[in-house]
């Protein structure tokens, strides 16, 4: 009866029935479409965020995230925030006013790490590469030889340019010079290898809505023992209450702490249901198989682009398979093509900043990294370019 009354009231106020969201094939930079199993998980009955059942869901989600991050770190959780919130959690806990931080910048999201680090009060030194390029590890070596730093932060998969930054060599250099290393793996986790323990990464942050295959709103993060030791050595509490790591784990549970959980915030229960199901799908498929599937989708897409006379912007030596950046040909209007695609129910992303109007960014992530979905996109793109 209440639902019917709400519908009647809406019609009286607007004259129209409520509009349903359009069906879209989401080939932008995220979110991507999700598996039907994930959608069904979202509709499961809600329980309270301290309900015994939900505490079990939290533990299961943490355990699966550790497997996907390839780590044994206990402090591995989905932050109740988008990827940006997870990265702020890392930087606001690891950095204090006056700390030295070296940030690798290969695009917009590297610049964002630098901005977050500066807002944490750190003295930020930037090591930068041209758009589409990556930073040679020896440049971090040279920067740390000039002056030590507490933290080296960089983007593993730069979403604005499609560049795939080498990480293991940088981690070794950072540790040799006494620095921690933190990475933004928002676009890489679940799509290409991310080996937290093997590479010696101290902290990493990702998101739910890209290669992991869940709706937006959560940010998986992981903190290793060196990072946790730095948090415990802080001279003062972080300036953030919501992202304070020590407070968060009174809710998520310390590995050696009391079983009873303390309230911190109201967790997004349905979103965590969905993430848990998405992680199940990742592990059922197998990480290596999932990485290979993303690579195969990229190869099929690149071959199709070549037949259409289109070029990829990012050099092949460090090109992400799951985020394809296309040069827009001369005489082709960026917005017109994207509008025609959207009219057919297909979304791709444009460039921004210096690359606005010059590139399209096409995500082949998670559920969308299949031959059928790639062919759907290529056919629609060919039709849009004809006009």
Task: From the options 3.90.1150.10, 3.40.50.10860, 3.40.50.1110, 3.20.20.70, give the CATH code of 25-33+287-386.
Answer: 3.90.1150.10
Q: What is the DSSP string of 124-173?
A: EEEEE--TT----HHHHHHHHHHS--SEEEEESEETTTTEE---HHHHHH
Are the C-beta atoms of 7 and 186 separated by less than 8 Å? Answer: no
Taking only the tens place, the pLDDT of each residue in 253-276 is: 887 655 678 889 999 999 999 999
Tokens at 78, concatenated: 């989905």
Say if CB 220 and CB 77 are below 8 A apart: yes
Domain ranges of the chain: 25-33+287-386, 37-283
Q: How far apart are CA 134 and CA 153, in angstroms?
A: 14
Q: Which residue bears the tokens 């912007």?
A: 313
CB 45, CB 215: distance < 8 Å: no
CA 319 to CA 169: how far, in whole Å? 18
* pTM score: 0.93
**Closest of 39, 57, 40, 38 to residue 48, by C-alpha:** 57
Pick the closest to residue 180 from 147, 224, 220 (CA basis).
224
Q: Give the H or E element holding residue 239.
A: none
According to the model, what pLDDT value does residue 4 have?
61
Q: CB neighbours (10 Å) of residue 379? A: 13
pLDDT of residue 1: 47
Same fold yes or no, 25-33+287-386 and 37-283:
no
Q: What is the CATH number of domain 37-283?
A: 3.40.640.10
Give the DSSP per-residue string, 70-123: T---S-EEEESS-HHHHHHHHHHHH--TT-EEEEEESSHHHHHHHHHHHHTT-E
Rounded Cα gap, residues 31 and 207, in angstroms: 10
User: What pLDDT is attached to residue 7?
Assistant: 64
Ranges of the chain with pLDDT below 70: 1-17, 256-259
Query: What is the predicted pLDDT for the residue at 330?
Result: 94
- Cβ atoms of 109 and 158 within 8 Å: the answer is yes
195/24 Cα distance (integer angstroms): 33
């Amino acid at each position: 009866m209440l639902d019917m009354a709400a519908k009647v009231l809406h019609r009286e106020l607007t004259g129209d029935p409520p509009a349903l969201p359009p069906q879209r094939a989401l080939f932008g930079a995220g979110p991507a479409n999700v598996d039907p199993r994930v959608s069904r998980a979202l509709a499961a009955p809600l329980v309270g965020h301290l309900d015994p059942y939900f505490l079990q869901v939290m533990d299961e989600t943490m355990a699966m995230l550790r497997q996907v991050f390839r780590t044994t770190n206990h402090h591995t959780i989905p932050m109740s925030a988008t990827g940006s919130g997870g990265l702020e959690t890392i930087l606001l806990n690891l950095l204090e006013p006056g700390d030295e931080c070296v940030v690798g910048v290969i695009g917009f999201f590297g610049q964002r790490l630098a901005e977050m680090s500066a807002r944490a009060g750190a003295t930020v030194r930037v090591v930068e590469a041209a758009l589409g390029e990556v930073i040679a590890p020896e440049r971090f070596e040279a920067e740390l030889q000039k002056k030590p730093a507490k933290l080296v932060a960089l983007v593993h998969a730069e979403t604005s340019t499609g560049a795939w930054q080498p990480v293991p060599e940088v981690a070794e250099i950072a540790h040799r010079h006494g620095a921690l290393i933190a990475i933004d793996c928002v676009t890489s986790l679940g799509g290409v290898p991310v080996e937290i323990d093997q590479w010696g990464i101290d902290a990493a942050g990702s998101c739910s809505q890209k290669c992991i295959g869940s709706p937006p709103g959560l940010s998986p993060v992981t903190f290793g023992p060196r990072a946790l030791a730095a948090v415990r050595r802080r001279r003062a509490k972080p300036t953030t209450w919501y992202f304070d790591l020590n407070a968060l784990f009174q809710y998520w549970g310390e590995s050696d702490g009391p079983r009873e959980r303390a309230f911190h915030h109201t967790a997004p229960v349905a979103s965590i249901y969905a993430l848990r199901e998405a992680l199940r799908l990742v592990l059922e498929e197998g990480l290596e198989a999932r990485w290979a599937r993303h690579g195969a989708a990229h190869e099929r897409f690149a071959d199709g682009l070549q037949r259409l006379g289109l070029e990829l912007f990012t050099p092949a030596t460090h090109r992400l398979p799951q985020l394809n950046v296309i040069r827009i040909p001369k005489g082709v209007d960026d917005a017109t093509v994207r509008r025609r695609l959207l009219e057919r129910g297909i979304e791709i992303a444009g460039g921004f900043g210096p690359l606005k109007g010059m590139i399209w960014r096409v995500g082949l992530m998670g559920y969308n990294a299949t031959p059928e979905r790639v062919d759907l996109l290529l056919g629609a793109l060919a039709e849009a370019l004809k006009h």
